[in-house]
A and B are shown apart, each in its own frame.
Chain A
Amino acid sequence: MRATEKLSAHLKNRLADLNRAREEGRKIICYTPGGYLPEELVLASGAIPICLIRGGDHSMVELAGSYICRWIDTFCRAQIGYGVSGEDPYYSILDLLVVPVTDNHIRAVMDVLDYHTDMDIFPFGVPHMKEKAALDYYLQGITRLKNRLEELTRNQITESRLREAILLCNRERDLLRKISLLRRSRQVPINSKEFVALNHGSFIADKGFMVEVLESVWEELEGLSPPVQEGPRILLTGSTLALGDSKILDMIKDSGGVVVIEEFAEGIRPYWEDVDLDGDPMAALANCYFMRRIPPAWFRPGRERLEFLIRLAKDFNVAGVIWYQLMYRESYKLESFYFPNMLRKETELSMLTVESDYEASESGPLRTRIEAFIEAIRE
């Protein structure tokens, strides 16, 4: 696709573009993934949002061993490695690191970076239950963030600027959603790796540019009539699918599986819901990003997400589910114990749980298990 080539070229130059933007006085606001930072606020302040989504590199995990024990989620340890070493250049150019505190693993990243680096860090809490008090707390958090951004950028986040940003982000979500839904067809016009690349790109690219890319991709795909994909259709879910962590996607593809839908807490932008443009925009942001968002496994109870997975499995007509989690993210580990029964009861589908610590040595056993699973579910 020509549009994705354009995106690749844009991302290649992104760092240089950001440095230029900084020289011109724009602020770079980086944030930890999880889908709880409304990028609209950053855009409306005139700053540039960048999600720190890089992972998959075990050397960064090893490096983190000097700062924290190994019992923290692999991706989060990698962030500590990137953050303290500067190996991920985005950590070196940020003006503010925003941390929506979702669970203790993300909190660990925040605390270690706060202690060991000079980064300016702004945390706000993401409660774990969908209740009015929790919504209020989240709204208070993003309101504090709005004030901090105004102070940092010296730009007022006016209602009209915020609405403009919401429109842009809604457009991005809408396009991602439309592209993703094309995969319900037996003729899958875009493979998972390409879709994930678009998703990851959307965390880093200029928002206006990204929307243009997605428009082009949508136009290209709409007219296509690809052949029916052979091989079992797979729902891939889990805690984090980081930029650079493509091992799982490659292995499924190599084993003859076709990933037709992904659901991840970190690494896949939540695109199922749009921000309402009626009423108070801050309340609308909170409503969309907190209340209507399909929650990750660290919400309690986690039924909503598990039921959503079952709906996805049915809607996308999958033949099996692969649950890809990173080591020591306990919320996912526990749900992976009882979800297979729920899934089987509702859909008669099987699930394979695999784990990674970004180690090269895990590839062999991982590949064998995936191949065996794909064979077992092949019609």
Chain B
Amino acid sequence: MTDYYDELLAICGFEVEEIDRERPRIEKAFEKLELGDEDIKKAENWVRQNHDIDLVGVRKLLGVWLKELIDLVLAKDEGKRVVYYGFPTIAGPAAAIAAASDEIYCVCPDAVLCYTMGQIFNKLTPILEAGEENGLPPGHGLCSLQQIRVGGLAKGIIPVPDLVLTSSYYCDMGSKTDELLHERYGHPAVYADGSMDSRWGEFPNFLPERADFLGIQLEKVLSKATEVLGVEITKKARYEGASRSRGLFGAVRELVGLIKGAEGQPLSIVEVEVARRLTSGSTSRRFMTDGPQIIAILNQEVRERIDKDIVVVERDAPKVMILMAHFSDPSITRMIENMGLSIPVTVHTTLASRIMKKTPFISGEDLAKEQLERGPFHGSYGEIKRAAEAAQEFDVDGVIFNYIFNCRPIAMLSHLLKQFVQKETGIPVLSLEMDMYDSRTYNESALRIRVEAFAEMLRAKKNLL
């Protein structure tokens, strides 16, 4: 027996037996998500248009996100204790909490909604609108990722969590949103605080007290989790969480390395980011255990493409680096590639592939030090410096700094990054304002003209015209 959603699930890498087995869960989740026949048909087209479904790895990646969405929506009904963490976050504490008990489901719900209700179903608008009606109104530069979290809860799509781990060391918005939600739903929240008080040029050095403080805060998260969830986060759980994360980060690192070493671009950056975001979307076994295996399939397919000289963007196309791919709307990132620009890397991909190389999560302080060395959690200069280094490392012809207008730590770099990278590296930079989670205003057609002009300039520079 087949149902209206079977074809979509097949496109997303589900096996037939899997669909049959999961049918009751799928239907229950789709009902909560208000996904009907028409939505599924639209989703089929959307996925075919925007994802490289010739690749099994890509199908399975979409599938693992979709399964995660179903797990998320049904988590409470299925007896899980639910813990939410924010984005961006320092991976570690959440992975350790998830590793401490299979009964705890630890996830970043807004990321999961973006990568499914956006990337697969193109149906985020009702959730965003619910977020706007419930405390985060439009027109005030409020974070749309947080609108998705608020909207998801307001619509009853995602469950009220048992605990929220709030990353308060980077942005102010995430923690204030969690506070707003706490006021409304009453669930406990633990804030891992920090202070971005490095001065310009200080990176990569930092004051020891900064790592001490952040380390204490990361440890506090685990203590609070033990108190609220009644599960001890043992040393073994920390190692286990770190080990799972390392497997995932390792697979992503390999993918980035393959693309870096290729002559042309064998895979759209859209799919690289769909893979990479597994590292921040959830700490579930599904992501941590299945994720590396799926990325391994993708990596093998990428190798084959490299061997067969298959590219997705014209071989001589100018190479650009972007900040990150759109979370929810793949058509925007695709548009940049369709303009004839090759995107071998994003700033954040290079950062993700750097971490987990050395220190396992032994203590909060170790983790804090590792994260401060990465750049973005250090300060503006650290983030910009890392971007400049990545642009040089990947030998790109240009940088599109597609900054998120409603994310203060990134938006504040709108001009600085361009000025610094151009001055330090001579690589031209287009500062492109956009919203990485909501494409209602900053949509493909609104952004196309600016990207087109930049692409023309880069092509002229490469004497390709």
- A residues in contact (CB < 8 Å) with B: 66-69, 71-72, 101, 103-105, 107-108, 110-112, 114-115, 121-129, 131, 133-134, 136-137, 140-141, 297-298, 300-302, 327-328, 330-331, 333-335, 337-338, 355
The distance from the CB of A67 to the nearest CB of chain B, in whole angstroms, is 6
The 10 closest A-B pairs by CB, nearest first: A125-B195, A125-B197, A114-B200, A69-B414, A108-B412, A104-B408, A101-B197, A337-B135, A71-B141, A300-B175
Residues of B within 8 A of A125 (CB): 195-197, 210
Q: Which residues of B contact A300 (CB under 8 A)?
A: 166, 168, 175-176, 178-179, 191, 193
Quick one: which of B187-242 are within 8 Å of A by CB? Answer: 189, 191, 193-201, 207, 209-210, 213, 216-217, 220
With both chains docked as a complex, state the minimum distance between the C-beta of B149 and any C-beta of chain A, in angstroms: 12
Report the count of interface residues on B (CB-CB < 8 A): 54
Q: Decide: B199 and A68 in contact? CB cutoff 8 A.
A: no
Cα–Cα, bound, A10→B412 (Å): 37
Specify which chain B residues have a CB less than 8 angstroms from the CB of A68 in the assembled complex: 412, 414-416
A128–B140 CA distance with the chains assembled, in angstroms: 22
Closest to B413 in A: A111
Q: Are B168 and A128 in contact (CB under 8 A)?
A: yes
Given A72-B411, A115-B200, verify A330-B193 contact (CB < 8 Å): no
For residue A337, which residues in chain B have a CB less than 8 angstroms away from its CB?
A: 135-136, 180
**Sample of 14 A–B contacts (CB below 8 Å):** A69-B433, A71-B141, A101-B195, A104-B196, A107-B197, A114-B199, A125-B195, A133-B217, A141-B197, A300-B178, A301-B189, A333-B140, A334-B176, A338-B183
Determine whether the beta carbon of A69 is less than 8 Å from that of B416: no
Given A115-B420, A128-B191, A330-B141, the answer on whether A69 and B403 have CB atoms closer than 8 Å is yes
B330 contacts the other chain (CB 8 A): no
B195–A127 touching, CB < 8 Å: yes
Given contacts A104-B172, A300-B175, A334-B179, contact A137 B195 (CB under 8 A): yes
Q: Which residues of A contact B200 (CB under 8 A)?
A: 110-111, 114-115, 121
Least Cβ–Cβ distance between B426 and chain A, in angstroms: 18
- Distance in angstroms between the alpha carbons of A238 and B68 in the assembled complex: 41
- Of the residues B135, B196, B210, B414, contact of A338 by C-beta under 8 Å: B135
Q: Which residues of B contact A131 (CB under 8 A)?
A: 193
Q: Does B310 contact A (CB under 8 A)?
A: no
Which residues of chain A are within 8 angstroms of B201 by Cβ–Cβ distance?
114
User: In the complex, which residue of chain A has the Cβ closest to the Cβ of B189?
Assistant: A301
* Minimal beta-carbon separation of B141 from chain A (angstroms): 4
Which single member of B191, B198, B380, B419 contacts A129 (CB below 8 Å)?
B191
Apart from A71-B411, A300-B166, A331-B173: 4 A-B pairs, beta carbons within 8 A: A72-B408, A136-B209, A330-B172, A334-B176
Q: Does B144 contact A (CB under 8 A)?
A: no
A67 touches B172 (CB 8 A): no
Determine if B268 is an interface residue (Cβ-Cβ < 8 Å). Answer: no
Q: Give per-residue flags for B419-451: 1 if the beta carbon is below 8 A from chain A beta carbons, else 0.
A: 110000000000001000000000000000000
Q: Which residues of the partner chain A approach B175 to less than 8 Å between Cβ atoms?
A: 128, 300
B182 within 8 A of partner (CB): yes
Q: With A110-B199, A133-B217 in contact, is A69–B411 under 8 Å at CB?
A: yes
Residue B184 CB within 8 A of the other chain: yes
Asked whether any CB of chain A lies closer than 8 Å to the CB of B381, the reply is yes
Q: Which residues of B contact A297 (CB under 8 A)?
A: 176
Q: Which A residues lie within 8 Å of B166 (CB)?
A: 300
Smallest distance from the beta carbon of B465 to chain A beta carbons, Å?
31
User: Roughly how many angstroms separate A131 CA and B216 CA in the complex, as a whole number?
Assistant: 11
Q: Are B197 and A105 in contact (CB under 8 A)?
A: no
Residues of A within 8 A of B136 (CB): 334, 337
* Interfacial chain A residues near B122, Cβ < 8 Å: none
- Chain B window 400-416, contacts with chain A (Cβ cutoff 8 Å), 1 for yes, 0 for no: 00010110110110111
CA A68 to CA B380, docked complex, whole Å: 13
- Chain B positions within 8 Å of A298 at CB level: 172, 176
